[in-house]
Structure 1
Amino acid sequence: MVDLRAWVGVYLRGLAMGTADAVPGVSGGTIALIVGIYERLIAAVTAIDPEQIRRVLAGLTAENRADARQAFYEVDGAFLTVLGAGILTAVVLVLRLVDTLLETLPVATYGFFFGLIAASAVALFGAVDLTTPRRKIAAVAGFLVAFLASGYAATALGHALPVVFVAGAVAVSAMVLPGLSGSLLLVVLGQYAFMADTLSDFFDGLAAAARGGGLDALLDPLPTIVVFCAGGLVGLFTIAHAVRRALETARAATFAFLVSLVVGALRAPVLEVSMRLTAAGESWASALPRFGLAAVVAAAGVLAVDHYAGVLEY
């Protein structure tokens, strides 16, 4: 018998994770820890391999359906499907809101992101152990990777499909890691605003097509969405597995690298604001109050969650 209440609970947990995943600096993996599904999520994701996928797809033919159902059960497919539906719903809704805010209030929005990232780094850094040279080297490497990538990606990477594929692989793999935000990595790679805008255009095109307005507006952003999702699938079953193995074999050094990655990423929203101010002919002196107030509000929210929930750690 289907326990509808339990599945509604899974969907709502997916909504919470998706909301977090869509906001830079907040980790969907952390939310999974808070709502008590992290271990089940990791077990389900790591159970998926090419053979399991082949068995499920083979269920399209009648003679293989029993084995396909068994394979679907083995990877906790129903749980992943319902949770994924919740995540997708939230990501779509939040990114459409963020796209609007980036158009109308870019300085305050990036200030909010800065506060989220900074407070997440503060909350996580207390658990970092830098007592060995290897851990110190890992921390410096994480900081430099994010700091330098933020400067380079914001101006040089562009939005070609190979870049979008890599961005999808990196961002989606971070969804299963508590403390590390996939959206934050999109900001570092200079792809966050672009993907938010692309997703908004896609759903606007979908609505227009439903009203009989043709498919042109829908087809334009579709290749970017497909390539990003393809990259996400690759990342989920490669990068995420590699990071989990690194945490198992060198937990402290890997954690130091990941947290320092968050610290280095603080450069990204500052650069985004600087570029927008330059384009608008505005100075940092006039924009700083908006940026700072939004950052303080966001940081206070994250630190309050950390204080009362106590789960912003691995």
Structure 2
Amino acid sequence: MSFLKEVLRGIAIGVANIIPGVSGGTMMVSMGIYGDVIGAVTGMPKHFWKSVKFLLPYAIGMLIGIGGLSFAIGYFFLEFPFETAMLFIGLIFGGVPLLLPKIMGKRITFSETLLFVLFFGLVVWMQFWKQGTDVALNPGIKNSISLFVVGTVAAATMVIPGVSGSMLLMSLGYYTPIINRISGFLAALPALKWEELFACAAVLIPFGIGVVLGIFLVSKLVEYLLEKQERKTYFAIMGLVTSSPIAVLSGMNIVSIGFGQLLLGILLFIGGFFIANILGK
């Protein structure tokens, strides 16, 4: 049962990473596993098999979430954007009670308040980023290097709660091309269309290597901050997490939402809140 629960958590993280405005790091915080996952990633060089055993169900879940459920979630976000967004907001806020013990119990200082406000404002500021023109991912060393760098930076934002890696990819013009290569690879795999598989792999491999490196480097930084300044780090994380709904709802015409949509959205918010509590520790 524990393994299945961890796979389900991984699915939530994977789906969150491909939805613009939602962060996989936020999902990890909401489910109370952020520190444990960071520790397993940074501890891999010293405790390889222990880290692999811990991370394996999450990795399986993320692959299912990104590869299997991306089509369904993409459809629901296209056809029912508000209702789907409310489900994810419920998932996000369902984890806030897990964060409160990290910041309560002592008098709140000015620096802690400032960190909360600054990181809350960072997410709001990011909503003014414009989507870039989609880049042409032609084979070549130059594109491979660019994909590696973009993967590294995107992974950093995926690890940091509240900062959406997919939103960053959209602003750089890489989101749609990368998603198309993932879906193209999965579509070509059953029929073993080697030409299509190699063309997609030429894009996904350098991007994937960058993602792995980025996750490790940022996890090291977060681990250091949690060790040296845990309370202040969690105030910054709280600012990122509580501002996430602004990112999720960004660009939606809230005024045009009907009563039925609002009611369903509220129900999905409640459902997401309880799911986060069930999946949380």
TM-score where L is the length of structure 2:
0.70
Deviation at 1:132, TM superposition (A): 0.5
Given the alignment, which residue of 71, 77, 87 partners 1:112? Answer: 87
Distance 1:190 1:297 in 2: 31
Residues 1:215 and 2:195 are matched in the alignment: yes
Q: Is the 8 A contact 1:95 1:199 kept in 2?
A: no
Residue deviations 1:229-261 (CA, integer Å, cap 9, x gap): 223212221111111211121111110111111
Corresponding residue of 1:303: 273
The offset of 1:209, in angstroms, is: 5.1
Tell me, yes or no, if structure 1 residue 85 matches structure 2 residue 65: no
Name the residue aligned to 1:48.
44
Provide structure 1 residue ranges, at least 5 long, that are not aligned to the other structure: 1-7, 53-70, 175-179, 275-283
Q: Cα RMSD (Å) of the superposition? A: 3.9
**Matching of residues 209-248 of structure 1 within 5 Å:** 210-211=190-191, 213=193, 215-216=195-196, 218=197, 221-222=200-201, 224-248=203-227
- Paired residues of 1:46 and 1:237 also in contact (CA < 8 A): yes
Asked if structure 2 preserves the Cα contact closer than 8 Å seen for 1:17 and 1:32, the reply is no
Q: How does 1:55-94 map to 2 (within 5 A)?
A: 72-73=48-49, 76-81=51-56, 83-94=58-69
- Of 114, 117, 120 in structure 2, the residue corresponding to residue 137 of structure 1 is 114
Distance 2:185 2:277 in 1: 43
Secondary structure at 1:273's aligned position in 2? coil
Residue of structure 1 in register with 2:141 after alignment:
none
Give me the identity figure in percent: 18
The 5 Å alignment of 1:267-278 reads 267-274=246-253
Kept after mapping to 2: 8 A contact 1:167/1:186: yes
Q: How far apart are the structure 1 equivalents of 2:205 and 2:251?
A: 26
- Offset from partner CA, 1:109-142 (integer Å, 9 cap, x none): 2343344345545764575346101101111111
- Give the Cα separation in 1 of the matches to 2:54 and 2:101: 33
Q: In 1, distance between residues paired with 2:261 and 2:98?
A: 21
Q: 1:285 aligns with which of 237, 255, 259?
A: 255
Structure 2 distance, partners of 1:43, 1:290, is 44
Partner of 1:61: none
**Partner SS, residue 272 of structure 1:** coil
Is this contact kept in 2: 1:135–1:253, CA < 8 A?
yes
Pair 1:231–1:150, CA change in 2 (3 A): farther
1:60 corresponds in structure 2 to: none
Aligned length: 258
Where does the alignment leave 5 or more consecutive residues of structure 2 unmatched? 17-21, 136-146
Residue type of the alignment partner of 1:138: L
Query: d(CA) in 1 for partners of 2:229 and 2:69?
Result: 35
State how far apart, in whole Å, the 2-side matches of 1:105 and 1:197 are.
23
Cα displacement string for residues 262-306 of structure 1 (whole angstroms, at most 9, x for unaligned residues):
2223222222325xxxxxxxxx43335466345423431243356
Matches of 2:102 and 2:266, distance apart in 1: 23
AA in 2 matched with 1:207: A
CA radius of gyration, larger in: 1
Deviation at 1:224, TM superposition (A): 5.0
The higher-RCO structure (CA 8 Å, 6+ apart) is 2
Aligned to 1:167: 154
